[in-house]
Amino acid sequence: MRHSEFWSLMDAVFGEAYAPTLARDHALTALSSRTCVQALDDGVAPRDVWHALCDELDVPLDRRDGGDRRRVIPPRRS
């Protein structure tokens, strides 16, 4: 997953108005209490940030593609 795909999913799942605030302000437990923006800036893979955010906010698996069933979300790393 590229950074651009991450941001596209953020907008699709959380809305264009709320996504930037969520990414900037919500500290994720699974990412050592870093925000999405901090984790990405620190080099964490966008797909790992995406899964951590979706897991923490209980986003259902069928909504994690942003409503585009053709979009393939890379699986979380083992």
CA-based diameter of the chain, in Å?
Answer: 32
Task: Identify whether the C-beta of residue 35 lies closer than 8 Å to the C-beta of residue 27.
Answer: yes
CB atoms within 10 A of CB 71: 14
- Residue 72 in domain: no
What CA–CA distance (Å, rounded) separates 22 from 9?
A: 13
pLDDT digits (tens, 9 = 90+) for 40-58: 999 999 999 999 999 999 9
Evaluate if pTM is beyond 0.75: yes
- Residue 41 in domain: yes
Q: Looking at the 3D structure of the chain, how many domains does it have?
A: 1
Regions of the chain with pLDDT less than 70: 78
Q: Quickly tell me which residue has 């990414």 as its tokens.
A: 23
Domain residues for the domain of 15 are 3-63
- Residue 14 in domain: yes
